Amino acid sequence: MAAAASACGGAGCGQRCSSASASGAEEDAPAERMGRLSISAATACGKCDGGGAAVFVAGGVGMCVECFRAHLFGKFKLAVTSNAMVRPTDAILLAFSGGPASRVALQFIHEMQSKAIQSWETSNSQALPAFGVGVAFVDESVLSARPEHETETAIEDIKSIVSSLSPGDKKVHVVPLEDVFSSGSGVKAARLKEVVGMIDDETGRDDFVRCLRMLSLQKIARENGYTKIMLGTCASGIACHVLAATVKGQGYSLPADVQYVDTRWEVPVVLPLHDCLAQELNLLCELDSLKTQQLLDRPCSGINSLVASFVSRLREENPSREHTILRTAQKLKPFSFNKFSANGYHDFLPSRLRPKFQNVDTNESTFSEILCLICGSPFSERELQNLESTKHMDQKRTDRYTAHCCQSCHFQILPTATDMYEHFFSLLPKPWTEKADTASASNSSLRDQIADCLLDKDDDEN
Amino acid sequence: MDGSAADGSAADGARLPPPRAGSRLCVRCGERKAALKRPKTLEQICRECFYIVFEDEIHQTIVENSLFKAGERVAIGASGGKDSTVLAYVLSELNRRHNYGLDLFLLSVDEGITGYRDDSLETVKRNEIQYGLPLKIVSYKDLYGWTMDDIVKAIGLKNNCTFCGVFRRQALDRGAALLKADKIVTGHNADDIAETVLLNILRGDIARLSRCTLITTGEDGPIPRCKPFKYTYEKEIVMYAYFKKLDYFSTECIYSPNAYRGFAREFIKDLERMRPRAILDIIKSGENFRISTTTRMPEQGTCGRCGYISSQKLCKACVLLDGLNRGLPKLGIGRTKAGAGADSDGKQRAKRTERNTLSLQGKHGNFDF
């Protein structure tokens, strides 16, 4: 297990994956851990000619520490501005795992916020307010057999990391994963354990918890008035996801997950570290002594861990392989929800930039994709046909839910025995099942109107 | 979570009741003793049922994708290896059983590799008699004036697979044209296709990614090619050959003994162990990728020298051959635009792609099918 998990190259595949390797490899020399990203005093910086110790970036020139930081921040900022990720009126919820990727995201968004606050204070009109930032940590300790005091220490660490960043008051939300269920607290934990325990497939369990995590972030954002969720998912993490999704047969829905912006959720999700490699982020934490915490990391398992170790082998072979994988995925057609298209959304942009976004929007139809109940993947043609064919029948609630699961979730998350379905669905968090209920409500309401004229009573018993 | 992880992996792919010790009955017919665990589904079935499902699935693939029309002349690309041997056997069997009305024959390419191809061709010659299928052999020597032995002598063991792959593709087409075939079938199996999907993702080759899962390719060309084993697992092919005691040749090519052990291949084998359906899932992903219609695809033209299909002025085989004949074997290796091969930028790029293709080389040297 340990060997397979060291996989993500110690960097974790972004904040979602929590590779155990980083903490395991703590004894190694930094240079060794970084693979090709090493520090060497011999080469001069290729950017500023300032000399001094240089850092090698995958596939590129050597850079000094200053330029390296600027280079990463530049990628972050470019992602933010060119996708209109952050508006002055936004409140951003940063999903923070404590790993290097989300740590850098926290640092960078903090820097952007400080600048925004500064310019607000100095400007005469004070027209553009500075956006707000909050930090969320989803506590999954109920699923691991870790001693309680470790969790407490880690949470204290996180709080101290966040509180050290000023100006800009950042609220920390530490929320246990089981809070996605709406029942009482003791019952919630039991319910979470039960539903996860019903999933036979190791990879399925892993992915299910990931889906719950997103649900949990959505809930935190909604309840606390955040308008965006920012993830620390980085290029390496996305590269792993590209291969993992391919292996799980999710080729159709894959492009939905690899873009900068994802508005299919109630609170839109943005990925500003989309173009940074995990190794680079690791190195930056190292160089800037950004404090990270990996106590609560859970190693990814099953196919996800196999993919991670495959990607790390590829990286050893060719350091820019992850970028190539990412590029392939970006050539796939994104979905309509992969950009902000709400009316007036781009109004805050300078007028010279606005057309760039608005042109794209005009002929796009509104978001009409059917999404998987559990993982939120858009349905492929085949899955839509499946759903369509079950619609005509007046089905049991369980059948309706089953039809609203994508084929991949069907295989790896739903229980083996079909007679367990009813119980399984009854355990799922309400927001998921309600989605399917409303989706089919229109159909059944039509049926209700004509029910008295239907002769075949059999199919209406359910 | 750690405790459950260990047993979880066993249950990961196969959703079956726990196996009991001792003899079990075949889950399909319920009569005979189960003799094997089917690699694709992990069902325990008897030998007879395995033959039935194996052949039926191929038949279904052929029918559902309307691979053939009655009366067509079909060339079976035969190397003497397990895939093509099983393909020849099953296809002639299905042709008889379901009255496809096909005129089948074996088509082999003699690359001129002493100690490897000469031996495997002996196998094909035996197959010719065993299955009653006529055999045609086309050789590199006749087509290009070079054997692989000569080529390796000239360029060494590096990149020789590029030559072999490019030449073989064309040799098959030429042989099939010579014998007036309507179609070529090859023994590419599900594992091969899954590997190609992955390799194309790793290389960022969106054009190939979009067509590598097609069951029939080159339909606009003179002789389309198809892959009846698209959904057939390599392991099941080996199993079929083993139980049927088919006569096939199983030595690896002496010039690339490690071609099988590419990263991607190993990864797929690991995946298969963890979740047998992963191979089919990769193919499914490959079929469903949303590839934008605006993606620039290379334009198909013909080679100015030999008339073979080519997206450049000269086809790859002619470029490589040119290099060989002029004593510049590096010419045309790597991905260079036509005419850019000479300048230094082109050379640099060629060098880089050379490294890429080496590390990502798959089973067939290159993945140009």
- For residue A313, what are its two tokens? 């082998």
Residues A90-103, mean pLDDT to the nearest whole number = 92
User: Which residue of chain B has the CA closest to A326?
Assistant: B204
Evaluate whether residue B189 is within a structural domain.
yes
Mean pLDDT of A186-193: 87
Cross-chain Cβ contact B1/A143 below 8 Å? yes
B8, B271, B289 ranked by CB distance to A332: nearest: B289
Q: End-to-end alpha-carbon separation of chain B, Å?
A: 44
Using the Cβ of A325 and the Cβ atoms of chain B, whether some distance falls under 8 Å is answered with yes
Are the beta carbons of A255 and B209 separated by less than 8 Å?
no
Give pLDDT tens digits for B61-97: 999 999 999 999 999 999 999 999 999 999 999 999 9
φ/ψ region of B347 (left if φ > 0, alpha if ψ in -120 to 50, else beta) reads: alpha
pLDDT recorded at residue B136? 93
The pLDDT value recorded for residue A393 is: 62
Q: Which residues of B157-187 are buried (b: 16+ CB within 10 A; e: fewer)?
A: eebbbbbbbbbbbbbbbbbbeeeebbbbbbb
B325 within a domain of the structure (yes/no)? yes
Q: Express each pLDDT in A341-391 by its tens digit.
A: 777 777 777 777 776 666 554 444 445 678 999 999 999 888 888 888 877
Half-sphere exposure of B23 (CA within 13 A, CB side): 8
The pair of structure tokens assigned to B96 is: 């008889």
Q: Determine the average pLDDT of the residues in B173-198.
A: 94
Shortest distance, CA A186 to any CA of chain B (angstroms): 20
CA B306/CA B318 separation, integer angstroms: 8
**Mutate which of A300, A320, A331, A360 to disrupt the B interface (most B C-beta within 10 Å)?**
A331
Tell me the average pLDDT across B43-65.
Answer: 96
> What whole-number distance in Å separates Cα of residue A129 and Cα of residue A113?
10
Q: Which of B259, B288, B317 delimits the end of a domain?
A: B288
Q: Are B270 and B306 members of one domain?
A: no
- Secondary structure class of B20 (helix, strand, coil): coil
Pairing of strands A171-176, A91-95: unpaired
Residues B345 and B279 in one domain: no
Contacts of B87 (CB under 8 A, 6+ apart): B76, B78, B185, B186, B187, B228, B229
Highest mean pLDDT among A443-452, B65-74, B357-366: B65-74
Residue B3 lies inside a defined structural domain of this protein: no
Residue B291, SS3 per DSSP? strand
For residue A444, the model assigns a pLDDT of 58
Residue ranges making up the domain that contains B316: 301-358
Is residue B10 one of the residues assigned to a domain? Answer: no
Considering the domain architecture, whether residues B123 and B192 belong to the same structural domain is answered as yes
The count of C-alpha atoms lying within 13 angstroms of the C-alpha of A7, restricted to the half-sphere facing its C-beta, is 27
Query: Do residues B174 and B111 make contact, with C-beta atoms less than 8 angstroms apart?
Result: no
DSSP one-letter string for A262-303: E-SSSS-EE-TTTT--HHHHHHHHHHTT-----TT-----HH
Interface test with B, best of A212, A328, A330, A407 (most B CBs within 10 A): A328
Specify the DSSP class assigned to residue B257.
T
C-alpha closest to that of B161 among B337, B350, B360: B360
Residues B188 and B337 in one domain: no
Residue B66 included in any domain: yes
B168 vs B4: which has the higher pLDDT: B168
B110 is in an annotated binding site: no
Predicted pLDDT at A5: 35
The answer to whether position B1 is within a domain reads: no
Strand order in the sheet with A171-176: A171-176, A132-139, A91-95, A228-230, A269-270, A261-262
A182 pLDDT above the threshold of 70 = yes
Given B8, B11, B282, which is nearest A247 (Cβ)? B282
Domain C-terminal end among B262, B288, B314: B288
pTM, full prediction: 0.84
State the helix-helix crossing angle for A148-163 and A100-122, rounded to 10 degrees. 30
- Whether B350 and B254 map to the same domain: the answer is no
pLDDT in the model for residue A450: 65
Same domain, residue pair B118 and B253: yes
Residue A20 has pLDDT above 50, yes or no: no
Mean pLDDT throughout B307-316? 82
Q: Are residues B115 and B165 in the same domain?
A: yes
3-state secondary structure of B83: helix
Cα→Cα distances B354→B171, B305, B344, B346, B362, Å = 24, 25, 15, 12, 14
Q: What is the CATH number of the domain that holds B217?
A: 3.40.50.620
Give the pair of three-digit tokens for residue B326.
């002029």
Rounded-to-integer distance, Cα A197 and Cα A200, Å: 7
Residue B74 has a CB neighbour count (10 Å cut-off) of 21
Q: Is residue B41 part of a domain?
A: no
Looking at the structure, do residues B226 and B341 belong to the same domain, yes or no? no
pLDDT-above-70 percentage for chain B: 80
Measure Cα distances from A359 to A85, A345, A346, A351 in Å.
Answer: 17, 13, 11, 13
Mean pLDDT of chain A: 80
Give the range among A218-227, B4-13, B198-207, B356-365 with minimum mean pLDDT. Answer: B4-13
Which one of A2-11, A54-63, B247-256 scores highest in mean pLDDT?
B247-256
Task: Please say which residue of B263, B288, B313 terminates a domain.
Answer: B288
What does the DSSP 8-state code read for residue B33?
B
B202 to chain A, closest Cα gap in Å: 5
Same-domain check for residues B246 and B334? no
B217 and B318 assigned to the same domain: no
Give the residue numbers in B contacting A (CB under 8 Å), as ranges. Answer: 1-2, 4-5, 8-9, 11-13, 15, 197-198, 200-206, 209, 263, 267, 270-271, 274-275, 277-278, 280-282, 284-292, 295, 355-356, 359
B262 and B307 assigned to the same domain? no
- When divided into structural domains, chain B yields a total of 2
Nearest-angstrom CA–CA distance, A400 and A373: 10
The three-class DSSP label of residue A178 is: helix
If one counts every other C-beta atom within 10 angstroms of the C-beta of residue A78, the result is 13
C-alpha closest to that of B317 among B299, B302, B300, B296? B302
Instruction: Give the model confidence (pLDDT) of A263-298 as tens digits.
Output: 999 999 999 999 999 989 998 998 888 888 776 667
The percentage of chain A sitting over the pLDDT mark of 90, rounded to a whole number, equals 39
Residues B142 and B243 placed together within one structural domain of the fold: yes
Q: Which tens digit of pLDDT belongs to each residue from A391-440?
A: 766 567 888 888 899 999 999 999 988 889 989 998 999 888 887 777 76
Domain membership of residue B9 (yes or no) is no
